[in-house]
Amino acid sequence: MCLIFPITSLFDDDMARRGLKDPRIFWSVALLPLFGPLLYLCLRPPLPETDAKELFA
């Protein structure tokens, strides 16, 4: 169980960046040790596009 904790915190941050707010997605990833993260990485939406000017302003 202690090996799952770092992975779930990374998924929580990644989901926030991609705008996924449904807690069911997080818990389905967290509770399926191998296949949950694998499915999430395969099916996650792309990051929103940002303008380069916004990054360096």
Output the average pLDDT for the chain.
79
Res 57: pLDDT: 58
Residue that the structure tokens 């694998």 belong to: 38
Res 32: pLDDT: 81
Its pTM stands at 0.66
> Mean pLDDT lowest for which of 10-14, 28-32, 47-51, 52-56?
52-56
At 11, the amino acid letter reads F
Structural domain containing residue 28: 4-43
Res 30: pLDDT: 80
- HSE-CB for 11 with a 13 A CA cutoff: 26
Domain count, the chain: 1
Phi-psi region of 19 (alpha: psi -120 to 50; beta: other; left: phi over 0): left
Give 51's DSSP letter: -
Res 55: pLDDT: 58
Decide if 50 is inside a domain: no
Please tell me which residue, 33 or 47, carries the higher pLDDT value: 47
Decide if 13 is inside a domain: yes
User: Between 4-18 and 35-43, two packed helices, what is the crossing angle to 10 degrees?
Assistant: 20
